[in-house]
């Protein structure tokens, strides 16, 4: 397994370009199953999760061609079964369920396994499919969906921890080819849901309200091929802003969408950093003045759970006591014990971390546990004393395109050691 060595004590300076959004690209690639015609998707990031999704589409019978960020897919004849050996590697495999049910009125996909960020049920996805008229069976580790016809209906997708992002996408993808109108209440408002709705609309779907809690879908008979460019990755963007906050003289992220970063920019400003933006860049200029923070993760437009670990890393070296409350995935604190190995002082109770900032962290061997936790460890290591050895970096390659090279281009000193 590859590992990363971060030589600490560097200052970052310069510009870094943000890639296409992983969490937009995954359901958009799945949505290409809805038509027999060719779709061309641009700005697909080079990530292992994307590779898994393209492998699944290939096994379902799609013709897939990929060249420098552009993926062409033709799903002329497709199968409806995605077996465990290919779907187990990525929870987002569940987003093929909606398009398979929508187009073929049948799907058999293995249930995703456990996830280190906590229990990740898909009951809301299944409730939505049932409401549209599908028979849902869970048997032998597989989810089996069958329908003779899908009928538009009213569905509330709000769960106990808020709306579901992939669940909203899945139900939209099943409903675009249903008879009649589907009203989704309690829909996720994330920009990735809007991006998927825009792609489906380009394919001929009739969708209104994406980006609000109420999405309305008028079913159509069939969809056609379309071209689409994926939105910039707001979590990669936020991660590089935190890198600038932790270790930057001045860092500018380019080709990003500042309006998707509202709560992250606000939190950084509240912590005392200076930020400015243009239409597609954001610059962070640390100015020596720092304030501890109280943040709570929430569905969009609230502070993203996918930025929680990176903020914990930042707050661990800022004077004062900060409190971070996780409401979306209450057990998503695997990074805390690793940050403590680097000298961070953090009390964890239930779904809350109380962080007592220290002057400096020190390098240590640490273990990446999930994607965002791994990013947090890289960030914490940048200003730390000595070398931090981060093991199991395959987690980071799932969602960050060449994070080591991008940080090195800003002045970091990171080595990747191949196993």
The residues annotated as belonging to the active site are 115
Interface stretch with ligand EPU, choices 37-45, 63-71, 100-108, 115-123 (CB under 6 A): 115-123
Partner residues linked to 391 by β-bridges: 367
In contact, 53 and 26? CB cutoff 8 Å: yes
The burial class, CB within 10 Å (0-12 / 13-18 / 19+), for 408 is middle
CB of 274 to ligand EPU, least distance (A): 28
- For 261-325, give the DSSP string: GHHHHHHHHHTT-EEEE-SS-EEEE--S-----EEEB-STTSB-GGGHHHHHHHHTTSSSEEEEE
Residues 48-107 that bind ligand EPU (CB under 6 A): 92
In the list 123, 274, 347, 405, the residue contacting ligand EPU (rule: CB under 6 A) is 123
Closest distance of CB 333 from ligand EPU, Å: 14
Q: What are the angstrom distances between the C-alpha of 353 and each of 195, 309, 318, 349, 366?
A: 33, 10, 15, 7, 19
Give, as ranges, the residues between 268 and 327 that touch ligand EPU (CB under 6 A): 305-306
Per CB under 6 A, does 372 bind ligand EPU? yes
Extract the tokens encoding 250: 């001045």
Nearest-angstrom CA–CA distance, 117 and 111: 17
Q: Are 47 and 234 in contact (CB under 8 A)?
A: no
Size of the site for ligand EPU (CB under 6 A): 24
Nearer to ligand EPU, 52 or 273 (CB): 52
Among 82, 87, 124, 412, binds ligand EPU (CB under 6 A): 124
CB-nearer residue toward ligand EPU: 384 or 403: 403
- Vertex 228, ends 394 and 15: CA angle to 5°? 55
What x/- string results for residues 235 through 264 when contact with ligand EPU is judged by CB under 6 A? ------------------------------
Residues 10-29 that bind ligand EPU (CB under 6 A): 23, 26
Cβ at position 325, least distance to ligand EPU in Å: 14
> What residues numbered 152-171 form the site for ligand EPU, per CB under 6 A?
159, 161-162, 164-167
CB of 161 to ligand EPU, least distance (A): 3
CA-closest candidate to residue 71, choices 20, 107, 16, 36: 20
Quote the least distance from Cβ 90 to ligand EPU, whole Å: 8
Name residue 44's beta-bridge partners. none
Chain contacts with ligand EPU (rule: CB under 6 A): 23, 26, 92, 120-125, 159, 161-162, 164-167, 188, 305-306, 328-329, 371-372, 399
């Amino acid at each position: 397994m590859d590992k990363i060595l971060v030589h600490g004590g560097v200052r970052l300076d310069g510009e870094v370009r943000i890639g296409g959004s992983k969490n937009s690209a995954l359901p958009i690639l799945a949505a290409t199953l809805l038509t027999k015609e060719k779709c061309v998707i641009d700005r697909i990031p080079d990530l292992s999760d994307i590779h898994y999704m393209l492998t699944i589409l290939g096994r379902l019978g799609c013709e897939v061609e990929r060249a420098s960020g552009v993926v062409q897919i033709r799903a002329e004849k497709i199968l409806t079964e995605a077996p465990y050996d290919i779907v187990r590697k990525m929870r987002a495999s569940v987003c093929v369920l909606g398009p398979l049910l929508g187009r073929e009125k049948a799907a058999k996909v293995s249930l995703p396994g456990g996830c280190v960020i906590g229990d990740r049920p898909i009951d809301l996805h299944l409730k939505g499919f049932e409401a549209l008229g599908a028979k849902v069976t869970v048997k032998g580790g597989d989810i089996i969906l069958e329908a003779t016809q899908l009928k538009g209906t009213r569905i509330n997708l709000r769960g106990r921890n808020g709306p579901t992002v992939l669940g909203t996408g899945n139900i939209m993808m099943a409903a675009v080819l249903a008879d009649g109108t589907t009203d989704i209440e309690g829909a996720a408002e994330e920009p990735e849901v809007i991006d998927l709705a825009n792609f489906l609309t380009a394919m001929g779907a009739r969708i209104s309200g994406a980006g609000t809690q109420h999405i309305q879908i008028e079913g159509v008979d069939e969809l056609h091929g379309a071209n689409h460019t994926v939105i910039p990755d707001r979590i990669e963007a936020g991660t590089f802003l935190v890198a600038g906050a932790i270790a930057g003289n001045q860092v500018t992220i380019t080709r990003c969408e500042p309006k998707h970063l509202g709560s992250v920019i606000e939190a950084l400003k509240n912590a005392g950093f200076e930020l400015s933006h243009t239409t597609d860049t954001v610059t962070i200029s640390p100015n020596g003045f720092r304030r501890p923070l109280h943040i709570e993760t929430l569905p969009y437009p609230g502070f993203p759970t996918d930025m929680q670990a990176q903020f914990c890393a930042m707050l661990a070296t800022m004077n004062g006591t900060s409190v971070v409350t996780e409401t979306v995935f209450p057990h998503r604190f695997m990074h805390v014990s690793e940050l403590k190995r680097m000298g961070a002082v953090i009390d964890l109770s239930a779904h809350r971390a109380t962080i007592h900032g220290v002057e400096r962290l020190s390098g240590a061997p640490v273990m990446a546990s999930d994607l965002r936790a791994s990013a947090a460890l890289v960030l914490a290591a940048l200003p730390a004393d000595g070398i931090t050895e981060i093991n199991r970096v395959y987690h980071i390659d799932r969602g960050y395109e060449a994070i080591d090279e991008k940080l090195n281009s800003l002045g970091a000193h990171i080595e990747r050691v191949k196993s």
